[in-house]
Structure 1
């Protein structure tokens, strides 16, 4: 999960032709926006099932691997379907002087649910945007603009599948299949005592080369990626299991208790107990 992040650009909006407003992913709950949202949005449905109700367009159902482009200021509401109510939905909102023309280029996808031809690549780009906002804040505005544009181009490729590039040249700055496999390994085994050397070896790279490629594609090191994943999961565990001991959470994350507390405080500015007390208050 990538908790909602608001991108703060201070006075950069008049300068940047394209900028990110917010980005994230979570287990989506019912949300109603009778006045719409003030920026254009791209939604990616990773798991579960949910529906958008858009004024004048009826119900649009998103299943795993689908995407939806929603223009600014269009009244809508959305909610998970099914008895379990679980719907993992990713989103990014964007605006700027170039946003309107780019949205026009995506006209075939606007307010229309489409199966993504390369969903994992789009999701990796979404993660890359989130990490840039999370780690760098205002210092990332130029790079965020570039990566937002790259993601929109990737969405366009799904609209025109017959026009995709052919050949073996990989797109610059996009995670390759080996890196995507490495990310899946991290997500599948974050609760174990993962060694960077083992991850690198499993996808066929030396540790040094793996670190360089990972940082170039995701904007952070694999160690930082793993740590952030564990920290986000720790907050989920505390919320899902009130009263769970800190040592138990550390154990479930594959971390020593003292190291976990130190990293939690570095990430959130509070120890786990201080963090939970502030939430309860």
Structure 2
């Protein structure tokens, strides 16, 4: 009879820029999925791993490890802590080869891992009849998918064109002042028209929207970490009109800048940042802990 993994806890959270987790060890196994590449780093005795592409981190019991999250942007990740007899047996063999369990695996588009993890969280939230077994079956599928990953070298080598990267860097370096799309395009070396067309092609949004989003993300960081007024922060991230900043913040974040600051000033949420997802089948920024008697919180 197939022995299913036993889930201890899972969640979908985003930590604020610059957060550090560890150095720590855990008693069970942990699989963490990062849906987007960031400047976060996973550190273990086998070396640091740059989490610069969507992928999965796998940690075994007793292994000291640490996460240094992206210093400038919130980092979202979905995680599950679990026990699995088959993996435990393989991990504890005298001839155990740790390379069989990769620390960091890049996930190409089309992987089932993200959808299965989200379905697990949905089930844990709704708790239908037999939900624990269903979640464990899904986790078994996640583990099978993860162990079957073979990096597509062509996908691994793919990156943004250099002009787009220069433009993104230019945005980041000049968020504190008013800049135009013409200036950003000039930094890329392309004409305004060609830059805008290529930016949408590679990034999926117009450069104006990308610039606004970067300003608001910087504002989030300052709201949490800086003792400055809303007006001062608006100016710090390149807005010349405090009221326009407030309208854009409320429209995109679903709360005012002051509400955002008050929410994340709570020590319980001090390491979290807003997850931007229009619809979710389960509460975001929440841990589901599976208890022995079949309940969860």
TM-score, normalised on structure 1?
0.52
Name the counterpart of 1:56: none
Cα distance change of structure 1 residues 178 and 68 upon mapping to structure 2, 3 Å threshold: closer
Name the counterpart of 1:88: 70
Structure 1 gap ranges (5+): 1-20, 53-58, 81-85, 95-106, 115-121, 126-151, 165-170
Tell me, in whole angstroms, the C-alpha distance in 1 between the residues paired with 2:54 and 2:194: 36
Do the aligned partners of 2:31 and 2:56 also contact (CA within 8 Å) in 1?
no
Name the counterpart of 2:187: 202
Name the counterpart of 1:181: 166
Tell me, in whole angstroms, the C-alpha distance in 2 between the residues paired with 1:25 and 1:205: 34
Name the counterpart of 1:37: 30
Whether 1:27 aligns to 2:9 is no
Of 208, 218, 221, 2:206 maps to 221
Name the counterpart of 1:252: 236
Q: Deviations over 1:154-199 (max 9, x none)?
A: x54399x9xx7xxxxxx6xx52111111111111112221100111
SS at match of 2:20: coil
SS at match of 1:193: coil
Do the aligned partners of 1:68 and 1:113 also contact (CA within 8 Å) in 2?
no
SS at match of 1:88: coil
Tell me, in whole angstroms, the C-alpha distance in 1 between the residues paired with 2:18 and 2:100: 23
SS at match of 2:218: helix
- Please say which structure displays the higher CA radius of gyration: 2
Tell me, in whole angstroms, the C-alpha distance in 1 between the residues paired with 2:238 and 2:70: 24
Do the aligned partners of 1:42 and 1:91 also contact (CA within 8 Å) in 2?
yes
Tell me, in whole angstroms, the C-alpha distance in 2 between the residues paired with 1:43 and 1:34: 27
Aligned residue pairs total: 190
Cα distance change of structure 1 residues 29 and 230 upon mapping to structure 2, 3 Å threshold: same
Cα distance change of structure 1 residues 226 and 109 upon mapping to structure 2, 3 Å threshold: farther
Structure 2 gap ranges (5+): 1-11, 80-97, 110-148, 267-297
Tell me, in whole angstroms, the C-alpha distance in 2 between the residues paired with 1:77 and 1:67: 23
| Structure possessing the higher relative contact order (Cα contacts under 8 Å, 6 or more residues apart) | 2
Of 43, 47, 52, 1:51 maps to 43
Root-mean-square deviation (Å): 4.4
Tell me, in whole angstroms, the C-alpha distance in 1 between the residues paired with 2:223 and 2:199: 30
SS at match of 2:246: helix
Of 46, 53, 68, 1:60 maps to 46
Tell me, in whole angstroms, the C-alpha distance in 1 between the residues paired with 2:231 and 2:214: 18
